[in-house]
A and B are shown apart, each in its own frame.
Chain A
C-alpha cells in the first residue's frame, strides 16, 4: 500500500527527515512515536503533500504510484486522509457544504456519480453517530468556535464520511480528556478493517491503549531508530525516549 524509501526532507534548508524507510501494508495500523521535534508531524504532512517541505532524496510509492509527484488534492482523492493536529477554522463556510464538496470531488475523480443533498445527508447522519457529534455542528462554519474535543471528533467524522484507504492521524489524541479520547478511539476502531491502513502519529502511547497497533516505530532526529510491536509503546511510556537515543546507546 505505502512504501517509503530513504526519505530526506528539509524545511528552509534545514534537514528534518534524514532517511526514513517504512512499509505499510493493506489493513495495517502503524504507530509513529517520538519526542517533540523528531519529525513526526513533518512526515505526516509530507505524505499529505504540504508545500514548504523540500524532499531532497528518496521516494514514496502509494498503490504503485509516485505519491510525491501528486498535488495534495489528488492524494486526497486517491484515498489519503490526514486528521490534523490543529484542525483549521474556515469562517463562513458551512461544515456540511465543505464536506459535501470534498466527498464529491473525490467521487468525481474516481468516476463515480456525485451524491445529491438527500444521499449526502443520510450518509452524514449515519456517520455522525460514530463520533457522537451533534447534527447542529453541520450547520456551523468549519471548526469555527468548536471546542478542542469537537474539532478532533470532527476530523474523525470527516474521515468516516470520506472513507480513506490510508488515514494518517497526526496527534489526534493531544488535548483530549479521557472521555473524548475514548470516543475518538472508538470512532477510529470502527473504521479499521478491510484493507484500510492507518498511521497513528503520537507522542504518548495512551491512544494506543485503545487503538491497538500492528507495529510501532520510534522516530528521533529524523530517523526511525527502533521498530517493534505494541510492547515497545508500553516500554516507551515507562522509560521515556532518552534510552533509545543513539548517543545514549553508545
Chain B
C-alpha cells in the first residue's frame, strides 16, 4: 500500500515550548579549558584540595583520550576550547539560603516550565533540586526530608556538608577516566544533585532534579550521586530543557547510583533538551554517562527514560549487578524527529549469582531521525544462573528515517539464560485508516498508536511523569505522519 507522507509527516513538529531565554546577569567564565580554569572552578566552589586534585587528574586523563567514534551519530567536530565551562546567575551573597533569597526571575523561569519551586505551589510529594546552568538554585522540601534522615541537596552543598560520603562514593561507579565525556565531566563538573538515603529508610517522597540550560555558549556538566544504604528505597526523577538556539550546546553529565544490600533505586528521566529546528540547526548534544551499581545482595536498580529532545543523544544507563540476587531494569522510549539522532541503550553487567536484568527499549523514528539501540548484556564467569530478557522494538514513521539495533551479548557462564527479541514496524496506513474510519482524527490516531507502542515503558513512570511524557511525545510528534 502506498504511504502518504503528508500524514505522519504533517503531524510531527509542533513548537518547542521550553525554548525561551531568561535574561539574567550571570557570572560566566570566558571560553576555554586548561588547568587554570579547573582550579578556578574548584576555588569558586571552595572545594577541598582532594577534589581539586581529583578534577585535575581527570583532566590529564581526558587529554590522552579521544572522542568515541563507534556510535552511529554524526556531528561536526566539537571545539572544546570554544565552550565556557562555568556560568552561574549572579547572586548578592554566596548563595541563596532559602527560597526567599532566590532571584524572582529564576523562580519565574521554573514556574514557566511547570516546575513551581514555592513549596505551597508544589505538587504534593515531590522534592525538587533546580539546577540552572552551572549551579543548583534551589532545593525544596529539605526539612521534611531531613526528618526522615534523607540527605537531598546540591552537589556543592554535599561537598561542604557531607565530604566523607562524597569522597567515599564519588567516582566509585563511573571512574574519573571511564570514557571521554565522563573524564571531561569529572574535570569540570560544576553542580548537580546529591542524595543519601540511610539504612532502612523509604524516602517519603519522590525526589527530582530539574536541569535548565540558559546561558549561551556554555556547556552543562552536572553530576548526580545517589546512595541507597541497606534496605532503603528511593525514586528519583529528572527533567531537562534548554532555550532554542542556532548553535549546538554540549551537555555531558555523569550519574552514579549505588544500591547496597536490599536497597532499591528507581531513576526516571524525561529528557526534553532543545532538539534543534526542523532543518537540524542547533540543539543540545546530550553525551551522558549513567551507571548504577547493585553493590549489595538483593538490591535493585531500575532506569526509565523518555528521550524526546536533544540534537544528539548518546547515553547508556547501565547496571553493574555485583550483589547476589540483584536485579537491573532498563525501560526506554527514544524518539527522533527531523534531523535528531539517538544512539542509546544500556549495559547489564552480571557479576553476582542469580542476577536478573530486563531491557525494554522502544525507538521511534520520524522525519529524517536516526535511532539506534545499542545494548550490552555481559554474563561474567562468576554469575551463575544469571538471566536476561531483552526486547527492543522500533517504530518507523517516515520513509527517510532510520532505526538500528546493535545487541552485544557476552556469556562466560554456561548456566546463563539470555533472551533477545527485536521487532521493527512501520506505523501502518492500515492502523491509521482503521482509527480514522472510526471517527478518530489522524493526529489523535497517531498519538494513540505511538502511546500504545510505548505503553510498557510509560507504565514504569511515576504518575505525574507518565502524563507529562505522553504530552511531550504528542508535541514532539505533532506533524509527523508518513
A residues at B contact (CB < 8 Å): 12, 48-52, 71-73, 75-77, 81-82, 84, 87-93, 98-99, 101-103, 105-106, 109, 141, 158, 162
Contacts and interface: CB of A to CB of B under 8 A. Distances in A.
Contacts of A52: 1-2, 4, 429
Interface string B422-465: 00000011110111111111101000110111111000000000
A63 to B, nearest CB: 16
A98 B438 contact: yes
A93 B451 contact: yes
A93 B451 CA distance: 8
Residue with the highest number of chain A CB atoms closer than 10 Å, among B2, B429, B438, B442? B438
B437 A82 contact: yes
Contacts of B433: 48, 50-51, 72, 88
Interface of B: 1-2, 4, 428-431, 433-442, 444, 448-449, 451-456
Given A12-B2, A88-B430, A72 B437 contact: yes
A106 B437 CA distance: 11
Contact of B452 (A87, A92, A105, A162): A92
Contact of A141 (B1, B429, B434, B452): B452
Nearest to A45: B433
A106 B439 CA distance: 6
B434 A76 contact: no
A87 B434 contact: yes
A71 B436 contact: yes
Main secondary structure of the interface of B (DSSP, over half): helix
A15 to B, nearest CB: 17
Contact of B439 (A87, A92, A93, A102): A102
Contact of B436 (A49, A90, A109, A162): A49
Nearest to A92: B452
Contact of A162 (B439, B444, B451, B453): B439
A103 B444 CA distance: 14
B461 to A, nearest CB: 14
A242 to B, nearest CB: 30
User: Which are the 10 A-B pairs with shortest beta-carbon distances?
Assistant: A92-B452, A92-B455, A93-B452, A102-B438, A76-B439, A88-B434, A105-B439, A72-B436, A106-B439, A73-B436
Contacts of A82: 437
B436 A76 contact: yes
Nearest to B438: A102
Contacts of B439: 73, 76-77, 102-103, 105-106, 109, 162
A12 B1 CA distance: 10
A103 B435 CA distance: 11
Nearest to A86: B430
B468 to A, nearest CB: 18
21 contacts: A52-B4, A71-B436, A72-B436, A73-B436, A73-B437, A73-B441, A76-B436, A76-B439, A81-B437, A82-B437, A84-B434, A88-B428, A91-B453, A92-B453, A98-B438, A101-B440, A101-B448, A102-B440, A106-B439, A158-B438, A162-B439
Contact of A105 (B428, B431, B440, B451): B440
